[in-house]
Structure 1
Amino acid sequence: MSVLNIVLVEPQIPQNTGNIARTCAATGARLHLVKPLGFAIDDKKLKRAGLDYWHYLDITYYDGLKDFFAQNSGGNFYYFTTKGQANYSEVAYPDNAYIVFGREDAGLPEDLLFHNPETCVRLPMRGGIRSLNLSNTVAVATYEVLRQWGFPALESQGNLTKYNWEEATCPK
């Protein structure tokens, strides 16, 4: 089974992390949180944003980037950054990919980016805009990877609550 790993390095805003946790629950992605965090893990805003999906999550905590890389050596890391030179949708993400995101206010450490130029990617956007919201960026990136993988183990069709789709009529 394909595994996608979402890595948040020193997230600062609990609502973003809660939204990302919900994305992980909905997609089956593993969540990696690299400390220090800008909030307590029991923060009400964090729990509210993630709703009642916390029991669906596979979360691992790390005491810093050094600890994260020590425990995940040999991983396929892709660094999402506004400083990246490659378009995120032009990369072929392998199974067990780690998509890595930095702090909302500072991004990823520049020395990490400098030493990994071939795996630094960005979402295209207009000039003069600092960045997209972290949880939005994670959602776009997550669904691009899963799209490339054919959305493994995800339901691709929904159901109506009061009607049956087979009985629907389309206007001519």
Structure 2
Amino acid sequence: MLNIVLYEPEIPANTGNIGRTCVATGTRLHLIEPLGFRLDEKSLKRAGMDYWKDLDVTTYIDFNDFMEKNPGAKIYMATTKAPNVYTDVKYEPDCYIMFGKESAGIPEEVLVEHKEDSIRIPMLGDIRSLNLGNSVAIVLYEALRQNGFKGMNLEGHLHRLEWKD
């Protein structure tokens, strides 16, 4: 099972959206405090829709608490400052993919300890970053693809009609 880690997320709608993506993919969500919202906030629940109740989510008081409770975890740091493209690494089935807060990303003090495991999504020019929810979806689905979309529905079905050959 893959793990998404949000380092001090600030916007409840982003976290709600990411929570919904985690439920849809069987991914655990880890939230490192402080959060820019309360977990019972209406906008968080609205973005997560009725899926939030099914989310496997853990909160931590800070980054050190996260590290202490997940010893030996393989962590990829998603950041615009990374030397590696997100498609250039091999995601282990139980790895952690960390994303920073919307306004500042992952602190450089954390990044310097994880250079080889820091990944980026390529972008044009001087664009600061993509939306956090979009970034999580892009990298998470690459990790899922690399792991064969294990346990996921790989075929859809029409409700009223049949596909034509």
Report the TM range for the smaller structure's normalisation. over 0.9
Matching residue's letter, 1:117: K
Runs of 4+ in 1 over 3 A off after TM superposition: none
- Residue 125 of structure 1 corresponds to 123
- Residue 44 of structure 1 corresponds to 42
- Residue 76 of structure 1 corresponds to 74
Deviation at 1:17, TM superposition (A): 0.1
- Residue 61 of structure 2 corresponds to 63
Residue by residue over 1:63-91, the C-alpha shift from the partner in whole angstroms, topping out at 9 and shown as x without a partner, is: 00010000001000000000000000010
In the alignment, the residues of structure 2 paired with residue 57 and residue 14 of structure 1 have an alpha-carbon distance, to the nearest angstrom, of 15
Equivalences for residues 106-121 of structure 1 within 5 A: 106-121=104-119
SS of 1:116's equivalent? helix
- Residue 94 of structure 2 corresponds to 96
In the alignment, the residues of structure 2 paired with residue 56 and residue 49 of structure 1 have an alpha-carbon distance, to the nearest angstrom, of 14
Determine which of 138, 142, 160 is the counterpart of 2:158.
160
Asked whether the 8 Å contact 2:16–2:52 carries over to 1, the reply is no
Q: Please, what TM-score do these two structures have when normalized by structure 2?
A: 0.98
Matching residue's letter, 1:138: V
In the alignment, the residues of structure 1 paired with residue 114 and residue 46 of structure 2 have an alpha-carbon distance, to the nearest angstrom, of 35
What is the count of residue pairs matched by the alignment? Answer: 165
Residue by residue over 1:10-48, the C-alpha shift from the partner in whole angstroms, topping out at 9 and shown as x without a partner, is: 000000000000000000000001100000111111000
Percent of residue pairs identical: 53
Q: Please, what TM-score do these two structures have when normalized by structure 1?
A: 0.94
Structure 2 unaligned blocks of 5 or more: none
SS of 1:121's equivalent? strand
In the alignment, the residues of structure 2 paired with residue 95 and residue 27 of structure 1 have an alpha-carbon distance, to the nearest angstrom, of 13
Which protein shows a greater Rg? 1
Deviation at 1:164, TM superposition (A): 2.2
Asked whether the 8 Å contact 2:19–2:52 carries over to 1, the reply is yes
In the alignment, the residues of structure 1 paired with residue 148 and residue 16 of structure 2 have an alpha-carbon distance, to the nearest angstrom, of 26
RMSD: 0.8
- Residue 22 of structure 2 corresponds to 24
Deviation at 1:93, TM superposition (A): 0.8
Deviation at 1:127, TM superposition (A): 1.7
Deviation at 1:94, TM superposition (A): 1.0
Matching residue's letter, 1:135: G
Deviation at 1:114, TM superposition (A): 1.0
